[in-house]
Structure 1
Amino acid sequence: MNYRHADLNLLKVFEALMTEGTVTRAAEKLSLTQPTVSNALRRLRDTFDDPLFVRSGAGVKPTRRALDLWEPLAQSLHAIRSTLDSERFDAVQSTASLSIAMSDYVASIVVPRLAAKLSRSAPSMQIHTIPNTLVDFGPVLADNRADFAISVYNEEVQRPAFLKSRALWSPGFVCVMRAGHPLDRSERIPLKKFLAARHVDVSLAGKTLPSYDVFLRSRGMQRNLVVTVNHYAAAYDVVRRSDLIAVLPWSQALEPERMAGLRHAPVPLEAPPRVIELFWHQRHESSALHQWLKNVVLGLFEKPRT
């Protein structure tokens, strides 16, 4: 693309298609007609000699070339907008609606703190949570079904280039059981008794093996897993009402009050630590709204950097 002959107005259309995911929404954002946006997309394709966006369901997905272009262009467009716009994002007046993919465990920690913060700084903003299953939040962000995800990343899968993230906190794991459980008599549970006990665990996707069992198998061990559920709240209730035990995440200083009637002890075989991160699609790098909410979440949970 030759700068001297480039139509820089086309970059606004490129940005709208990246951030909105459909020609219709891009046209609405730019106050243009759909044929005008479609014509601009044709000119963009000719300019960059690439399709840039391909049909996907009811919307469009960026090609590899579009993703490569987006990061530097998003930063440049954001800088230009910040310089030229007389208006800045006003959180107090904002009526924006944003969605965040997270598990019920993460939601129990994040939502109360985030809601309290927004009630003071953005009282008319709406936040919606949607289920997160660990394995699908990348496509959820790519398809614009969520603005953010707060989750642990599955390290067995390579991160897509569009995925941006910042670490928030690292939960540990504890063995949870009901008060009065036979294993509640000692501070540390012997490994053999731990593996033989009847376990319940959480598989958010409903089918995949819980991460702790994957870890045990890597060590040549197997526990007596008899029940899996797809919500953490259900796991706590199962443990509270039975002799089953569970290995559940433990976020020191962040845990809500949900341990009534329960005890927790160190896990005899400690799994490698996991990191809960805030994820977003790089298409939102130029959005003042998304940058504002990202900074709010980071301010609430991000660990100080050393």
Structure 2
Amino acid sequence: MMALDLNLLRVFDALMETRSVTRAARQLGLTQPAVSHALARLRRAMDDPLFLRQQSGLQPTARAEEIAGGVRRGLVQFQAALAPTAFEPARADRTFTLAASPYFCHLMVPALVAHVRQVAPGVSLRIVPSGEAVVTLLDHGTADLALGAAMSLPERIVVEPFYEEQMVWIAAPDNPVVTQRLPLAAIDPAARITITPGGPAPLPGFPAGIGATAQADLGDWRTTPTVPSRITVYESQTAVALVARTDLVARVSARIAAPAVARGDVVVLDRVDEEVRIPIALIWHARQRADQGLAWLRATIRAL
């Protein structure tokens, strides 16, 4: 096998992530012919097609899948080795990839982006779904940081406590459960909105019935009731909007409900059968303990 230069490995990594020559070229700031030429060199060096053209995009071969993780880890380690000891936000030229669910995208990402544009104009942020297993995202360097419910993960993954989110039951102000102060037990289970994630399998480490919804959007914390709800949605903002205009009720995060509560669209029920709090964490890989840039990003998120 001929020697490979770093640029070829960067092209391979981009193709693995985007599954498209066009998107890889855009991501790397190269022309499409340059990426195609690099792919041809990679194929000769590896004596393998590496990617096969399919209608849905480039499909990696078994050999490509085999080396992808090692290539990504090597690139991440190389970048870390060259990174300056001190991170200066105002002078930094770096891209951070943050894995976040709609819950975090709604509550934190707008403020984060606004702050970064002011204090670190050379820093780019990529927000990706957190539906894929967080360990895989962090092991492969596909994400620098994940926001999610605290969980039990391998020792190489750091779970840094952030805050606790309280789950609350909400209803419209004219809902009988509010006007007649009915107990929750009196509510038809079919009138309780079920919130389920729209993404892939739950993150590892969650108990059954908690992980999927906490991962996706901190929606209805409990498992599906014995009597199925007639309404199922995949994120909690939709549930809040439905509750405001119907006789339905839902359990959502207090932070997601807060704007609607402030407007008077919904009210928080004070008759609860259990108090549910979900610990939220910043999740990142232990190999990045010395990464001053990531430390700055985590501190920035904490200060929002």
Q: TM-score, normalised by structure 1?
A: 0.59
Q: Secondary structure at the match of 2:248?
A: coil
Further displaced range: 236-245 or 14-23: 14-23
Please tell me whether residue 202 in structure 1 is matched to residue 203 in structure 2.
no
Distance of 1:214 and 1:33 partners within structure 2:
46
Q: What is the Cα deviation at residue 300 of structure 1?
A: 3.6
- Structure 2 equivalent of residue 107 of structure 1: 105
The CA distance in 1 between the partners of 2:301 and 2:133, in whole Å, is: 20
Q: Aligned AA for 1:38?
A: A
Paired position in structure 1 for 2:216? none
Instruction: Please state if 1:17 is matched with 2:1.
Output: no
Q: 1:103 touches 1:231 (CA, 8 Å); kept in 2? A: no
- 2:108 aligned partner, one-letter code: V
Contact 1:109–1:255 under 8 Å retained in 2? no
Change (3 A) 1:77 1:66: same
Distance in 1 (alpha carbons) for counterparts of 2:97 and 2:70: 26
| Cα deviation, residue 181, structure 1 | 3.3
Residue 105 of structure 1: CA displacement?
A: 2.9
CA distance in 2, matches of 1:120, 1:109: 19
Distance of aligned partners of 1:121 and 1:206 in 2 relative to their CA distance in 1, 3 Å threshold? closer
- In structure 2, C-alpha distance between the alignment counterparts of 1:181 and 1:141, rounded to whole Å: 43
Quick one: which of 198, 217, 223 aligns to 1:216?
223
What RMSD over aligned residues (CA atoms) do the two structures have, in Å? 5.4
Residue 239 of structure 1, aligned match among 239, 243, 246: 243
Runs of 5+ in structure 2 lacking a partner? 202-208, 214-218
* Separation in structure 1 between the aligned mates of residue 233 and residue 276 of structure 2, nearest angstrom: 20
Q: Give yes or no for the alignment of 1:182 onto 2:184.
A: no
Matched, 1:273 2:278: yes
| Distance in 1 (alpha carbons) for counterparts of 2:80 and 2:223 | 49
Distance in 1 between the 2:184 and 2:111 partners? 37
Unaligned runs of 5+ residues in structure 1 are: none
Deviations 1:138-171 (A, max 9, x none): 7x979x9x96785648x9xxx9x9x977555443
1:177 alignment partner AA: A
- The secondary structure found in structure 2 opposite 1:258 is helix
C-alpha distance in structure 2 between counterparts of 1:150 and 1:191, whole Å: 35
Structure 1 residues 202-224: Cα deviation after superposition (integer angstroms, max 9, x where no partner):
3442999984778435xxx5256
Give the CA deviation at 1:231. Answer: 4.3
Of 117, 120, 127, 1:119 maps to 117
Q: Aligned partners of 2:38 and 2:232: how far apart in 1? A: 52
User: So what's the TM-score if we normalise by structure 2?
Assistant: 0.59
SS in 2 for 1:273: strand
Is 1:28 paired with 2:15?
no
Residues 149 and 33 (structure 1), Cα distance of their counterparts in 2 relative to 1, 3 Å cut:
closer
Alpha-carbon distance in 2 for matches of 1:207, 1:76: 29
Please state how far the C-alpha of 1:104 moved relative to its aligned partner.
Answer: 3.8
Matched to 2:82, the amino acid is: R
**Could you tell me how far 1:264 is from its partner in structure 2?**
1.6
- 2 CA distance for matches of 1:135 and 1:110? 18
Hey, what's the Cα distance between the residues in 1 that align with 2:223 and 2:235?
21
Q: Contact 1:199–1:225 (CA<8 Å) still a contact in 2? A: yes
- The answer for the alignment partner of 1:42 in structure 2 is 44
Correspondence 1:87-106 to 2 at 5 A: 92=90, 102-106=100-104
- The secondary structure found in structure 1 opposite 2:167 is strand
- Provide the secondary structure at the position in 2 that maps to 1:107: helix
Identity over aligned residues, as a percent? 15
Change (3 A) 1:255 1:225: closer
Q: Is residue 200–residue 225 contact of structure 1 (8 Å, CA) maintained in 2? A: yes
Are residues 65 and 136 of structure 1, via their aligned partners in 2, closer, same or farther at CA, if it must alter by over 3 Å? closer
Distance 1:237 1:141 in 2: 32
